[in-house]
Structure 1
Amino acid sequence: MYGYVAGLPAFLTYFASGLVLLVLFGLVYSLVTPQREFSLIREGNSSAATAFIGALVGFSLPLASAAANSVSLLDFIIWAAIGAIIQLFAFGAAAVTQRGLATRISQGELGAGLWAGGISLVVGLLNAACMTY
């Protein structure tokens, strides 16, 4: 029976680390972006929720790739940090291509949230694919 769950400690370590990294990314993302996602989402702002979920999924894609391809927990954490930095740049790219993006998200303009979330997803997918070393 032990042979079937021999990898459980490693799984739990990577899973817990991944959750912590995901929460940290969400906190950093909400501090770096001009809009206040948590407050806006609590107020029912669908645009902010769409953009934020896109960023979280966009980060979780390279996070998953890093977990699957890493050779150690430290390797996983390093590549997760790289993925997070790329995702923060993705929001910057979305903001550069759409004037007033943060204001539009804050005002609940769904198109702005979809744009920001979509860019995060596209960049996250490419980011994840490039981490298959």
Structure 2
Amino acid sequence: MGPFLLTFVYFIAAIVVVAVGLVIFELITTKYKDWHEIEAGNTAVALSIGGKIIGICLILAFSIYHSSDVLDTVIWGGYGVVLQLIAYYIFDFLTRRFSVEQKLHEGVIAVGIVSMCVSIGLGFVVGASIT
């Protein structure tokens, strides 16, 4: 497969992995609709979702750097989504004084920023572990 076609295949795979990951995340973790919140101007939710997108894409990028197999990249992306979910629950557990989900829904930007950083940081750690 030529480099242009392979790039397009990775591009499509990344879109699918991110889209499916975001749908799963919204179904499992939130009592509100992420995209409705973003449309309404909720910056905290936008930061949180943006961090998840970047975190998943970082894992995909590291996978592409270390593998020439599109299927491996999709599998790593799926694994990244699962780890993002685990990180979300750990983050929520560690902030027992408040609900991350509720604070995001309320538009607390500080919580959105920390949530974004957790997702991006996790993306780097998982990505760096790919060999």
**Fold shared by both chains (TM-score > 0.5):** yes
Equivalent residue number for residue 39 of structure 1:
36
Q: Determine the C-alpha separation between the residues in 2 that align with 1:15 and 1:29.
A: 21
Aligned-residue sequence identity (percent) comes to 22
Distance 1:6 1:55 in 2: 30
Residue 111 of structure 1: aligned partner: 110
How far 1:119 sits from its partner (Å)? 0.8
Unaligned runs of 5+ in 2: none
Q: Which one has the largest radius of gyration?
A: 1
**Unpaired runs of 5+ in structure 1?**
none
Inter-partner Cα distance in structure 2 for 1:83 and 1:41: 23
Structure 1 moving runs of 4+ over 3 Å? none
Deviations 1:5-55, CA, capped at 9 Å, x for gaps: 932222211121111111111211222222431111111111111111011
Residue 74 (structure 1) aligned to one of 71, 76, 79: 71
**What is the TM-score when the length of structure 1 is the normalising length?**
0.88
User: Is contact 1:25-1:84 (8 Å) kept?
Assistant: yes
| Alignment TM-score, normalising by the size of structure 2 | 0.89
Q: How many residues align?
A: 128
